[in-house]
Structure 1
Amino acid sequence: MSAPLLSCRGLEAGYGVSQVLFGLDFDIQPGEVLALLGRNGMGKSTTIKTLVGGLRLQRGEIRFDGRPIHAASADAIARLGVAIVPEGRQCFPNLTVREHLIAFADTRNGVAEPWTLARLYALFPRLAERAGHMGNQLSGGEQQMLAIARALSTNPRLLILDEATEGLAPVIRDEIWRCLALLKAQGQTTLVVDKYVDKLLALADRNLILERGRIAWQGSSAELDGQRALWTRYLGV
């Protein structure tokens, strides 16, 4: 097996005196899709914040392509090739769709086929139709498409999606899943958080379940599909 693109050891983090993560160990291999699962409040978003530099670790180490990044700033981590599609989309209300996609565009990571504006519009034709519209003029589904396209415009080595289909209409959710399947087929390394486990099983190579800030279970999608009791124990509402 090749060296992991992302390696996390002993992650501990929290907010003030409230500790949220307790000794997380996991890796993401190049080209792999890892699903991060768990009920609300189990530490998924906190884990993502530590990975992208939004929250400093209390203890532990994060390495990206062999390089320690746990003390790096968020912008430095982004420049190394980590891009996030944040929960809530966070599109800029005063930028057009096109401005979102050219303002963050970068090819510093030397990818063979970079995400150009034309490729992004081909991935999400609706964005091409709305190219001149401001961020606050888009529907929730269009904003999610824009948030994904904006992240891809940086040509990331690792793409992180926090609540990828939260609050979207079924037809838009299907469009997002189609997009993620295409990215996987193209070899995009991805960490994804979502509540639709059945959809994630078809997408993810491996799954990691958090329970109160600890790893309760991890394994392949085939293994998780065969252990439906885990769904009730750790993922049911």
Structure 2
Amino acid sequence: MSVTPLLSCKNLNAGYGASQVLFEVGFTIHAGETVTLLGRNGMGKSTTIKSIMGDLRSKSGEIHFNGRPVQSLKADAIARLGIAIVPEGRLCFPNLTVREHLLAFADQRNGRADGWDIERIYALFPRLKERSSHMGNQLSGGEQQMLAIGRALSTNPRLLILDEATEGLAPVIRDEIWACLAKLRQEGQTTLIVDKYLEKLLALADRHVILERGRVVWEGSSVGLLHDRSLWSRYLGV
């Protein structure tokens, strides 16, 4: 693990108009780590993600990615540096086929021989290959989620962010998504996950960051979170 974090948020303050949502938020993610961002609805998780992705300009604080300050960059510039998001709601394009989704955003920026090309994505999600000529709006919810993950992987990101990637999916499809994320972790993909299925996340993630009313109130390992059930009821509603 590198000494310098791949992603670092420090003293991050952000909000919408006069309403402040984030208060001095800070955490780091090192290369190869899987980290979760946890908390009840409305605690600042989405605002944190929007700030990292450049969709929301922070009021103050610092965001560094791969050693470079990015808090003043636009979203497209941040994406080109190597951050990809699987957005809440999937946001697949209704007028593009599965294959077109996976080719339109493809980028071999990391130059790895084992990078994510379309055939490797099809191997990860065989159902996408079966549906390669289907339009985005012709897919089931689970298939759209697979496509959203595949689309993000096609950019060969240094950091992959998943915002509620299993929300609204049938249990069998959720299990497929968890298996995919476990495989990505084994391969060293750096990942930030926002989700509510804590039992699954404990087995999947290296570290967890809990937000409460826009502040980081706890950060630690899966072992630490597993053994302090008071955190579950106090901050996660579990």
Normalised TM-score (structure 2): 0.98
User: How many residue pairs get matched?
Assistant: 237
Aligned to 1:209: 210
Tell me the CA shift for residue 164 of structure 1: 1.3
Contact 1:21 1:214 in 2 (8 A): yes
Aligned to 2:111: 110
Matched, 1:84 2:80: no
Q: Gaps spanning 5+ residues in structure 1: where?
A: none
Question: 1:17-71 CA distances to partner (integer Å, 9 max, x unpaired)?
Answer: 0000000111000000000000000000000000010000100010001100000
Aligned to 1:122: 123
Tell me the CA shift for residue 124 of structure 1: 0.2
Of all paired residues, the percent bearing the same amino acid is 73
User: What amino acid sits opposite 2:70 in the alignment?
Assistant: I
Aligned to 1:7: 8
Per the alignment, in what secondary structure is the counterpart of residue 161 of structure 1? strand
Aligned to 2:19: 18
Tell me the CA shift for residue 3 of structure 1: 1.1
Tell me the CA shift for residue 108 of structure 1: 1.6
- Mapped to 1, the partners of 2:179 and 2:173 lie a distance apart of 10
Question: 1:158-197 CA distances to partner (integer Å, 9 max, x unpaired)?
Answer: 0000001000000000000000000000000000000000
Contact 1:12 1:59 in 2 (8 A): yes
- Mapped to 2, the partners of 1:110 and 1:47 lie a distance apart of 29
Matched, 1:193 2:191: no
- Mapped to 2, the partners of 1:46 and 1:87 lie a distance apart of 13
- Mapped to 2, the partners of 1:172 and 1:228 lie a distance apart of 28
Aligned to 1:146: 147
Tell me the CA shift for residue 110 of structure 1: 2.2
Contact 1:96 1:131 in 2 (8 A): yes
- Mapped to 2, the partners of 1:68 and 1:3 lie a distance apart of 13
User: What amino acid sits opposite 1:42 in the alignment?
Assistant: M
Q: Gaps spanning 5+ residues in structure 2: where?
A: none
Contact 1:80 1:109 in 2 (8 A): no
Aligned to 1:169: 170
Tell me the CA shift for residue 2 of structure 1: 2.0
- Mapped to 1, the partners of 2:132 and 2:59 lie a distance apart of 43
Per the alignment, in what secondary structure is the counterpart of residue 110 of structure 1? coil
Tell me the CA shift for residue 114 of structure 1: 0.8
Aligned to 1:28: 29
